[in-house]
A and B are shown apart, each in its own frame.
Chain A
Amino acid sequence: MALLQISEPGQSTAPHHHRLAVGIDLGTTNSLVACVRSGIADTLPDGEGRHLLPSVVRYLKGSAPVVGDAALAAAAEDPLNTIASVKRMMGRGIEDVKRLGGALPYEFAPGESGMPRIRTAAGLWSPVEVSAEILRSLKRRAEATLGGDLTGAVITVPAYFDDAQRQATKDAGRLAGLTVLRLLNEPTAAAVAYGLDKKAEGVFAIYDLGGGTFDISILRLNRGVFEVLATAGDSALGGDDMDHALADWMLRQAGVEVSADPHGARRALRDARAAKHALSQGEEAAVRVTRPDGSVWQGRLTRDEFQALVDPIIERTVAPCRRVLRDAGITASDISEVVLVGGSTRMPRVRERATAVFGRTPLTDIDPDRVVAIGAAIQADVLAGNKPRDEMLLLDVIPLSLGIEIMGGMVEKIIARNSTIPIAKAQDFTTFKDGQTAMAIHVVQGERELVSDCRSLARFDLRGIPPMVAGAGRIRVTFQIDADGLLSVSAQEQTSGVASSVVVKPSYGLSDAEIERMLRDSIAHAHEDNDARNLREQQVEADRVLAAVESALVADGTALLSPAERQEIEQALSRLRSLRDGTDVARIRDGIGALDRATREFAARRMNEGINKALAGHRLDEFG
């Protein structure tokens, strides 16, 4: 191993350096972190050899929060301060959370935006902050195991997550100090783990039933391209519901009122989960409930009885399976393999149902708890630039249609569900009053025709429209979904060309100001220096940009640039190089901006070359 890396002055060694990038499965029940090392992707254990980190955070007065097994162990004795299944609350409003969390013991307080806060002994916490604690714990584990700072992480989300849930997940990553390289859909990650493993071709169905979410995705694999044809699911359906169904049954048998006894409810939930696991192996399980007065109810539960309790929950996975086949334009017989993902697919009943729906025996050879993290790690390795370019490519879709509110509370669809992302659609709006300078747009996600039946994502105020007579102002609003499945909006007045400003009010998300404050708080908490952190982040960004421009120049600088043009870029490069070693954050940012401007034309030429290269293998038709 080389102790010193010697490079030419000003030449970054970064492009050849192996970047540490991980895949994180941020699950409802358990979370994992995985990494590709020496070409092999695997999950990373903690110091005691445990791969699964229970997604549980316990807040204590006057000390740092506890994450994982220790928190899980305290859940029954300290239910109000121990937050489990926080994923189910991500991107949700306080009303949703109360509805789905009928059995959750937490106390909620409204936040500045629609996002709820959970009251604990250590203060109020949003679901995003709780998730960030879990991510921080995994980040520490990875950095300790891999021996260095992480370049970035791919975090997985249920394919059926809407924009608010995705944004909340990305915000959690940012709060945890992670560079989120990509939000990756869990079924797609599983397909990567299986597909690359088996060098498979054909159509895959990924049936993913986890702790809190159900996803069904259909993918076509073709020479390393993983193309999601369609996805469907239910972002509030999973093993948790089965635990609740069983716990409720146990408490009813014991004659205990659930709401009167949060500790008892939490214990019942824990015991129900244990009984569920036991019934995946055995035919019968013992269950018991300790009543508030200390007396004990004991009973036995057969697998058949248990199945009768959870069948209605499993049955809810069938309709999305049918819909996804239709949306993909295929029938069950077109599917070459069915893959099962998620802890709940260990249940024999779930396997039976999946086998019946698709008419074939599913693959289960990769541990269903670990397969998603492994797939995410493979993608992270590619995005960090550790893999040759053309190894694999994931083409994912937007799971739910995106629309805007029109007259009468109706929805007009702008982007249809299952459209491949990234995608952009433009829509024109006209002013309806003389001198109108602002306009409000309400963006929703969902398949129904009424706004009230869809999920409100955000309200956008367009401002700075030049005053004109009614109907003369035409504003083109462009909705763009990026590769993470996240929406952004831009607007331009068409007759004057004036760009209108877009002010976003997320319906259930955090405002930028809230995130900024949380970041400052978490830094203060960690006794870190905010300025030093800003500088370090800006330097890392400068290094990334420098390396990218340098390698572009090596590849195409001679072919696509005149000596004068090249010199201009070289000047911006060397200016940024010298700024990067200084301590002025604002000047480094300016230097990055200047280099950006200097390389725009070069980028456009490289892209045009790319079109020819991409189609070089095809018959070149005459344009008719």
Chain B
Amino acid sequence: MQASVEKNFFELFGLPVGFNLDTADLAARYRDLQRQFHPDRYANATDPERRLSLQITAQINQGFQTLKEPLSRGRYLLALQGVNTDEETDTRMDPDFLVEQMELRESLDEARCSAQRGEQLARLARETDALLRTRTEALGSSLAGGDPEGLRRARELVREMQFLKKLAREIEELGEVD
């Protein structure tokens, strides 16, 4: 009864396990898997097939969600290698990174009350985006080797990206309220 549910997300999408992937190709594979397995396709099928279709589609959706974003893809690749990123429980971070974060947060507070709020928010969004991009690139090379030092570095990068993502979201949300 397990069928394809046992496959990891890369196997499910017929892709090699790795950080670098073509998101347009991933999306096309996603749509084709959906065309095959979505419960609507099994409206008149046998009951075991209907249940499996629901399970597999849930898997496909979660897989696509996980693989399409670099941050969740990185976290998933680490999990496949037995490395847990523990964002909720492990709060120790690199001190330099924390200082940088505090500065960014201060800028955000300033922007909130500033007369040039729009411009300041846009600049802050660009800065955060650049920090995310360099980490995304570094994450790709750290994961490529698969050595313990690379994995340790990748774990740190994922945890930092989580912080930056949250900041980027807050900047966007502030930008909407005018």
Contact = CB atoms under 8 A, between A and B. Distances in A.
Q: Which of A181, A382, A424, A622 has its CB near the most chain B CB atoms (within 10 A)? A: A424
Given A603-B52, A606-B49, A607-B53, A613 B36 contact: yes
Contacts of B43: 181, 382-385
Contact of A603 (B29, B37, B48): B48
A589 to B, nearest CB: 12
A615 B32 contact: yes
Nearest to A623: B16
Nearest to B53: A607
Nearest to B172: A326
A422 interface: yes
Interface residues of A, number: 61
A622 B3 contact: no
A16 interface: no
Given A600-B1, A603-B46, A624 B16 contact: yes
A182 B17 CA distance: 36
Contacts of A425: 62
Interface string B91-113: 00000000000000000000000
Interface string A244-275: 00000000000000000000000000000000
A608 interface: yes
Interface stretch (A158-166, A203-211, A233-241, A545-553): A545-553
Interface string A538-557: 00000011011101100000
A383 B43 CA distance: 6
Nearest to A483: B39
A393 B35 contact: yes
B176 interface: yes
A607 B14 contact: no
A608 B47 contact: no
A209 B6 CA distance: 44
A615 B53 CA distance: 16
Interface in A395-447: 395, 419-425
A578 B2 CA distance: 32
B12, B17, B37, B40 pick with most chain A CB within 10 angstroms: B40
A178 to B, nearest CB: 15
Interface in A596-624: 596, 599-604, 606-608, 610-611, 613-615, 617-618, 620-624
Contact of B38 (A393, A545, A604): A393
Given A326-B176, A548-B44, A607-B56, A624 B17 contact: yes
A449 to B, nearest CB: 14
A390 B32 CA distance: 10
B17 A225 contact: no
Interface centre among A323, A390, A419, A621 (most CB of B within 10 A): A621
B28 to A, nearest CB: 7
B34 A596 contact: no
A611 B45 contact: no
Contacts of B176: 319, 322-323, 326
Which of A222, A420, A545 has the most chain B CB atoms inside 10 A of its CB? A420
Top 7 closest pairs, chain A to chain B, by CB: A614-B36, A603-B48, A624-B16, A424-B58, A615-B14, A603-B49, A604-B3
Interface of A: 15, 181-182, 222-223, 225, 227, 319, 322-323, 326, 382-385, 389-390, 393-395, 419-425, 480, 482-483, 544-545, 547-549, 551-552, 592, 595-596, 599-604, 606-608, 610-611, 613-615, 617-618, 620-624
Given A604-B1, A618-B28, A623-B16, 5 more contacts: A389-B41, A603-B46, A606-B49, A615-B32, A621-B14
17 contacts: A323-B176, A326-B172, A326-B173, A383-B40, A385-B44, A393-B34, A393-B35, A395-B34, A423-B61, A480-B54, A482-B39, A552-B46, A595-B46, A599-B46, A603-B48, A604-B1, A611-B36
